């Protein structure tokens, strides 16, 4: 494996391990890891597999804390796969504006999808949590708003660190630049 790929994989796993440090709820690098891996790993197996493996490893090290309902956990992982796919669409255009836009879109996607499945899991596993109607769904989304800002700030911060840090590494270590055919 070449130095570029090894460095990207190391960065993704290092970011995943930051989940083990004390942090505000939802202020984690997971969305950024997915976007970063998709944007920089041209091998699709690695682009999708590395962030999922890193997330699974960090989840295991945390004792699978937060795995309350299977459908929620599955949707969290599927959402990160979609964010990884978005990263693959960045191609050679990884501008600050695009990374920022993808960061915001990733945060919104994560909020909408995962909280929908919190609502679904709630009426399956805890029917007293939310009612099975539009009002219950709206209540679920409103209850999640205090966590959204942390997700958004985390995605913006960690994408700045990952994309910006790797950009600086590429300037200083020419072997990390992508080889064009």
What is the reported pTM?
A: 0.90
Does residue 100 belong to any structural domain of this protein? yes
CATH number at residue 94: 1.10.1760
Does residue 181 belong to any structural domain of this protein? no
10 Å Cβ neighbour count for 99?
25
Tens digit of each residue's pLDDT, the chain (181 residues): 699 999 999 999 999 999 989 888 889 999 999 999 999 999 999 999 999 999 999 888 887 776 566 777 888 899 999 999 999 999 788 999 999 999 999 999 999 998 898 888 776 667 677 888 899 899 999 999 999 999 999 999 999 999 999 999 999 998 888 776 5
| Sign, CA torsion 95/158/153/106 | positive
Does residue 170 belong to any structural domain of this protein? yes
103 closest CA partner among 37, 39, 154:
154
Residue 72 lies in domain: 3-176
Does residue 148 belong to any structural domain of this protein? yes
Count of domains for the chain: 1
Does residue 35 belong to any structural domain of this protein? yes
């Amino acid at each position: 494996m070449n130095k570029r790929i090894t460095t990207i994989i190391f960065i993704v796993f290092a970011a995943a391990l930051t989940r083990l440090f004390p942090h505000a709820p939802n202020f984690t690098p997971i969305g950024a890891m997915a976007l970063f891996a998709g944007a920089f790993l041209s091998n699709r197996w690695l682009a999708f597999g590395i962030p999922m493996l890193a997330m699974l490893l960090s989840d295991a090290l945390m004792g699978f804390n937060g795995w309350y309902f299977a459908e929620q956990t599955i949707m969290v992982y599927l959402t990160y796969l979609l964010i990884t796919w978005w990263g693959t669409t960045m191609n050679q255009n990884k501008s600050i504006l695009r990374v920022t836009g993808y960061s915001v879109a990733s945060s919104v996607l994560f909020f909408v999808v995962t909280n929908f499945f919190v609502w679904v899991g709630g009426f399956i596993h805890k029917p007293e949590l939310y009612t099975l109607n539009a009002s219950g769904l709206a209540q679920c989304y409103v209850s999640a708003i205090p966590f959204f800002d942390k997700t958004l700030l985390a995605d913006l911060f960690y994408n700045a660190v990952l994309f910006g840090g790797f950009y600086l590494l590429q300037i200083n270590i020419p072997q990390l630049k992508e080889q064009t055919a």
